[in-house]
């Protein structure tokens, strides 16, 4: 492990030199790439340097015990050694986590799609609950939400809502929400007080840049149509809504949230790129999973990952067997406790794979 850490530190120093090179400074692409690489390993280097400094302090304290010391001084040195041992253990554990290969998508913005599934109107209402939960979680993390497309129902909630979450590290946390979410509660329309079970699916896609996936204009069919729903005088009068079809994959994206056709096309293009990228990623992941499947993973969207039980105020994540009696708080956006537990489990699993 320490050979790898030394190699990371050497690379960090080399990147410092490169970023001071006038040829690199005048090359925007290389400057961006080297800056990102340096940023990605900076925390690892900082912790490694702190570890080496603590190691030196430990060696010095050990050496002091070999000298003639009075009882009080000896006790002080022993106490310092005990504290340094704990510091070194903590830093070593942290360094192991930092050496786990990072998901290249972790720092990206997120395109999230929530759809009511089994359960009719109740599923749509639950989709609305999930949207509010993620919206408040995003606000707590100072992330910005931008709705791209929404299809509401007469009773409230959403048949489907697609929105973007803009914020550094959004994908690193929300990628674990991919899958089918199940709710168990008594619907407002149920006169007999019976508990119904409904589901909504959540898809979490990383926003992709143009350089990451090559989409040719000739492969995209663009259709325009009039907007429907809330929107003022322009609704049903201007061809502002846009539908994009990627012919090779058959993926279709619509957007009518903006009054401007150009803005709708830009938003739709972001979703289209993300869905195409997601399709290619899933095909590659399927090949990998045939060899080795992650203990947590990010969840197939057909997989039931979590149950929200209203009568018991309980949320259970089935992937890690976690149950929390705080459903009311979680639906108000305090879902971080569940997400953090998934991150820890995922890191532990990947660390075990790394050590095999």
Domains of the chain (ranges plus CATH)?
A: 2-98 (1.20.58), 110-211+299-355 (3.30.70.1660), 217-284 (3.30.160.20)
Torsion of CA 222, 225, 230, 233, to 10 degrees: 120
φ, ψ at 309 (rounded to 5°)? -105, 110
Given a contact cutoff of 8 angstroms between Cβ atoms, the answer to whether 351 and 100 are in contact is: yes
CA separation for the pair 182, 160 (Å, rounded): 16
User: What pLDDT score does 175 carry?
Assistant: 92
φ, ψ at 121 (rounded to 5°)? -60, -40
User: What pLDDT score does 94 carry?
Assistant: 84
Each residue of 210-235: pLDDT tens digit? 545 667 888 888 888 876 654 444 44
What is the rounded average pLDDT for all residues in the chain?
83
Look at the block and give the residue holding tokens 């973007």.
164
Tell me the C-alpha to C-alpha distance, in Å, between residue 86 and each of 66, 92, 102, 327.
22, 10, 27, 36
CA separation for the pair 9, 7 (Å, rounded): 5
Given a contact cutoff of 8 angstroms between Cβ atoms, the answer to whether 103 and 343 are in contact is: no
Tell me the C-alpha to C-alpha distance, in Å, between residue 332 and each of 55, 255, 307.
45, 28, 16
> What angle (nearest 5°) sits at the alpha carbon of residue 237, between those of residues 235 and 238?
90
The answer for residues whose C-beta is within 8 angstroms of residue 252's C-beta and 6 or more apart is 243, 244, 245, 246
Which pair of tokens denotes residue 122? 């109740």
User: What pLDDT score does 173 carry?
Assistant: 93
Which pair of tokens denotes residue 284? 């590659």
Asked whether residue 171 carries a pLDDT value surpassing 90, the answer given is yes
Query: Looking at residues 271-296, what average pLDDT do you find?
Result: 65
Range of lowest pLDDT (28-32, 176-180, 279-283): 279-283
* pTM listed for this prediction: 0.65
């Amino acid at each position: 492990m320490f050979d790898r850490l030394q190699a990371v530190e050497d690379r960090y120093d080399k990147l410092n030199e490169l970023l001071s090179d006038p040829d690199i400074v005048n090359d925007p692409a290389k400057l961006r790439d080297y800056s990102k690489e340096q940023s990605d390993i900076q925390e690892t280097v900082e912790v490694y340097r702190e570890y080496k400094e603590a190691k030196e302090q430990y060696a010095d304290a050990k050496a002091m015990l070999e000298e003639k010391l009075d009882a009080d001084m000896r006790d002080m040195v022993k106490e310092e050694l005990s504290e340094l041992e704990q510091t070194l253990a903590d830093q070593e554990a942290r360094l192991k986590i930092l050496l786990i290969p990072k998901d290249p998508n972790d720092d990206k913005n997120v395109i999230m799609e929530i759809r009511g599934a089994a359960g009719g109107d109740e599923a749509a209402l639950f989709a609305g609950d999930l949207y509010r939960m993620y919206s408040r979680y995003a606000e707590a993390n100072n992330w910005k939400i931008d709705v791209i497309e929404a299809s509401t129902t007469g009773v409230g909630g959403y048949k489907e809502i697609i929105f973007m979450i803009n914020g550094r590290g959004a994908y690193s946390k929300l990628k674990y929400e991919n899958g089918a979410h199940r709710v168990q509660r008594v619907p407002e329309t149920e006169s007999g007080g019976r508990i119904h079970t409904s589901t909504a699916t959540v898809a979490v896609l990383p926003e992709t840049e143009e350089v990451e996936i090559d989409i040719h204009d000739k492969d995209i069919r663009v259709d325009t149509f009039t907007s429907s729903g809330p929107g003022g005088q322009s609704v049903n009068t201007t061809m502002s809504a846009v539908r994009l079809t990627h012919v090779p994959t058959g993926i279709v994206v619509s957007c009518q949230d903006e009054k401007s056709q150009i803005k709708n096309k830009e938003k739709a293009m972001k979703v289209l790129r993300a869905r195409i990228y997601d399709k290619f990623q899933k095909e590659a992941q399927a090949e990998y999973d045939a060899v080795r499947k992650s203990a947590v993973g990010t969840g197939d969207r057909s997989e039931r990952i979590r149950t929200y039980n209203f009568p018991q105020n309980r949320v259970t994540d089935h992937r890690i067997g976690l149950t929390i009696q705080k459903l009311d708080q979680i639906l108000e956006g305090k879902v971080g406790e569940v997400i953090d537990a998934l991150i820890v489990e995922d890191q532990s699993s990947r660390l075990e794979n790394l050590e095999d």
